[in-house]
Structure 1
Amino acid sequence: MTDPLVWLAPESEAEVAFEGALRPKSLAEFVGQSKVRGQLQLLLQAAGMQNRTPDHILLAGPPGLGKTTLAMIVAHESNRPLRMSSGPAIQHAGDLAAVLSSLVPGEVLFIDEIHRMARSAEEMLYLAMEDFRIDIMVGKGAGATSIPLDLAPFTLVGATTRSGLLPNPLRDRFGFTAHLEFYDTAELELVLERAAALLELDIDRVALAEIAGRCRGTPRIANRLLRRVRDYALVKGSGAGIDAVHAALELYDVDELGLDRLDRAVMQTVLTRFDGGPVGLNTLAVSVGEESETVESVVEPFLVRIGLLTRTPRGRVATRAAWKHFGLTPAVEPPPKPALFGDDL
């Protein structure tokens, strides 16, 4: 049976230390999401003053905005131990029972991608979150017996990129739900400035602003691009200036809007092969050689958000901004044929 506790281990101890250093350790260090930070600060302070475990917390939002980091901060600010798991790893009620029964009083349990848990585990979680107990079935058939098992009080922090897939009974049991938003350029510059200091990378504000404008409003992408610029400057010995940023991001296929290879492949397919659309999702996915789920969940949200693509009942359609960005001229539709009347029928 797969271990329900998932620990993502990078290749080396140095990599572990580096990734850990990039993550803020407290709400004061955390950049952006000011409203969520204020709400969490109040929730944690109130729990500390009453000497109780904080309410269960649901963190919802796109990938890379800091949900895992905030879960670590909740444990750190509460001075509680942290246990980490993930929804896909909990595929049976027994997996969840093993995790819950081993928690110590006050422990913070973080479940990433909580919407992907098995339904039987979700139903067990209802009672655990509300009454801190679970019922374990022993035996089968008419002789089956339910044995109640009391749990130590704990705080569940769930993270999801698709909150709409959570059943209402589970969503309602969270005492606080935080919706994380994409970062603006100014906030991303602060994220990059902090990361550059940790990397001991000498880079000016102009170069940081250029990177911030290409990272799709996501700190995880910002840190990744900064590391690629660091690598380029190290190998080429050119320094991390604006020229190095342009060269490095061009080498890694990231354009001035933050589009990568797959983004451009999707847009160029819509523009050139289908004259700007409309084109159906499955046809578009086959045309670029990707799964339809990848196009719909990974590529389309960003293209729609920046105004290059729209969704219509008939399919995906490129906008005027898309034609302009790719330097193409919209196809001219042929004039409608005149209606035939009288003897022309």
Structure 2
Amino acid sequence: MSDHDIVSPAPESEAELAFEGALRPRSLAEFVGQTRVRGQLQLLLQAASLQNRTPDHILLAGPPGLGKTTLAMIVAHESGRSLRMSSGPAIQHAGDLAALLSSLVPGEVLFIDEIHRMARSAEEMLYLAMEDFRIDIMVGKGAGATSIPLDLAPFTLVGATTRAGLLPNPLRDRFGFTAHLEFYDDAELERVLERAARLLELDVDRGALAEIAGRCRGTPRIANRLLRRVRDYALVHTSGSGDRRGAVGLDAVHAALELYDVDELGLDRLDRAVMKILLERFDGGPVGLNTLAVSVGEEAETIESVVEPFLVRIGLLTRTPRGRVATPAAWRHFGVQRAGQTLFGDDL
């Protein structure tokens, strides 16, 4: 078999891929949560349709797992356009972007994930492409270099970023609409889980759904992942085969999430490792980010972008000019005794 031969996926893999696709809503009406953003997008797409033009460029900003990629697919689907997908890290030269833009068909939707990670030279080329649907190709080097203008087919750029502050102002200003996605509340996550459970043909008690929703960190991607782990646990630990099993209850949810190190607040292994190091080794802080990262054996960027936002949001950690500090709620949650103090009293 040569390196270029294509191996067809096994039927099980095809079924799993089909399920992954089915989990994604196909329309704004199916999309759960982000009510304000859905209404704004609906208006933008309808106005473009009535005027028979491509929709304005759209920037989707927010933490990972809230539905930015799904919304980009919905924009293409609801506007009746094809979708081209790429990512910022894959566009490291202006030539990469030029090849991508010149291959677009009229009206196509281009989705660039993590757009803030594009190369600076590509960003500067994108300014002209977004505004005038044109790029300038440099031919030759030095004094003999010439610029050749290349007209592009009208397109809609949908950019997604988890760090909108890293986008340069000239690029951010060229988006006709910027959507800021917010974390989900428990009621919205329950609706996400209900839909996923139907697709999994899994009967889950209402109380069990609520328990999973409370441990999802406000993120649909995590909700779907935890539901699948609960499904796996129920499948393995329920006797019988071929018969329809009873509803998955709280006991199964508790056992499955304990097995996968997800506690009642939604903290995982890395979250707890960071907090316990902060509480036990550094007496609650303050401690610098790099010191904290080295202590748990992780990159500082991972701690800052993945762990800290959730710990700050639920009130277990604060950031100060001197470093990271554990809150009184953290001491209570982990049951760790601060040096020279008891676990009781108002001073905790």
Query: What's the TM-score, normalizing by structure 1?
Result: 0.92
Of 278, 303, 323, the residue aligned with 1:270 is 278
Equivalent residue for 1:184?
A: 185
Equivalent residue for 2:149?
A: 148
Amino acid at match of 1:329: Q
- Whole-Å Cα distance in 1 between the matches of residues 123 and 229 of structure 2? 40
Equivalent residue for 1:5?
A: none
Write the deviation string for residues 181-203 of structure 1: whole angstroms up to 9, x where unpaired.
00000000000000000000011
Shift of 1:16: 1.6
Pairing 1:316–2:324 present = yes
Equivalent residue for 1:170?
A: 171
Flag structure 2 segments of 5+ consecutive residues without an equivalent: 1-8, 240-245, 342-348
Q: What is the SS of the residue equivalent to 2:175?
A: coil
Shift of 1:142: 1.3
Equivalent residue for 2:21?
A: 20
- Whole-Å Cα distance in 1 between the matches of residues 142 and 296 of structure 2? 52
Shift of 1:109: 0.2
Q: What is the SS of the residue equivalent to 1:217?
A: coil
- Whole-Å Cα distance in 2 between the matches of residues 300 and 61 of structure 1? 15
- Whole-Å Cα distance in 2 between the matches of residues 16 and 112 of structure 1? 20
- Whole-Å Cα distance in 1 between the matches of residues 95 and 89 of structure 2? 14
- Whole-Å Cα distance in 2 between the matches of residues 303 and 21 of structure 1? 32
Equivalent residue for 1:78?
A: 79
Q: What is the SS of the residue equivalent to 1:12?
A: helix
Shift of 1:79: 0.4
- Whole-Å Cα distance in 1 between the matches of residues 15 and 163 of structure 2? 33
Amino acid at match of 1:127: L
Amino acid at match of 1:318: A
Equivalent residue for 1:118?
A: 119
Query: What's the TM-score, normalizing by structure 2?
Result: 0.92
Q: What is the SS of the residue equivalent to 2:312?
A: helix
Shift of 1:15: 2.2
Equivalent residue for 1:197?
A: 198
Amino acid at match of 1:66: G
Q: What is the SS of the residue equivalent to 1:225?
A: helix
Equivalences, count: 325
Amino acid at match of 1:255: D
Amino acid at match of 1:256: E
- Whole-Å Cα distance in 2 between the matches of residues 256 and 162 of structure 1? 28
Amino acid at match of 1:73: I
Aligned positions of 1:1-345 closer than 5 A: 12-237=13-238, 240-332=248-340
Equivalent residue for 1:343?
A: none
Q: What is the SS of the residue equivalent to 2:150?
A: strand
Moved more, 142-151 or 232-241: 232-241
- Whole-Å Cα distance in 1 between the matches of residues 84 and 252 of structure 2? 41
The Cα RMSD (Å) is 1.3
Equivalent residue for 1:3?
A: none
Equivalent residue for 1:338?
A: none
Shift of 1:312: 1.0
Amino acid at match of 1:285: A
- Whole-Å Cα distance in 2 between the matches of residues 292 and 255 of structure 1? 24
Moved more, 159-168 or 135-144: 135-144
Q: What is the SS of the residue equivalent to 2:229?
A: helix
Moved more, 168-177 or 319-328: 319-328
Amino acid at match of 2:338: P
Moved more, 234-243 or 67-76: 234-243
- Whole-Å Cα distance in 2 between the matches of residues 135 and 76 of structure 1? 31
Shift of 1:330: 2.6
Shift of 1:283: 1.2
Moved more, 309-318 or 185-194: 309-318
- Whole-Å Cα distance in 2 between the matches of residues 286 and 145 of structure 1? 50
Flag structure 1 segments of 5+ consecutive residues without an equivalent: 1-8, 334-345
Moved more, 270-279 or 81-90: 270-279
Amino acid at match of 2:36: K
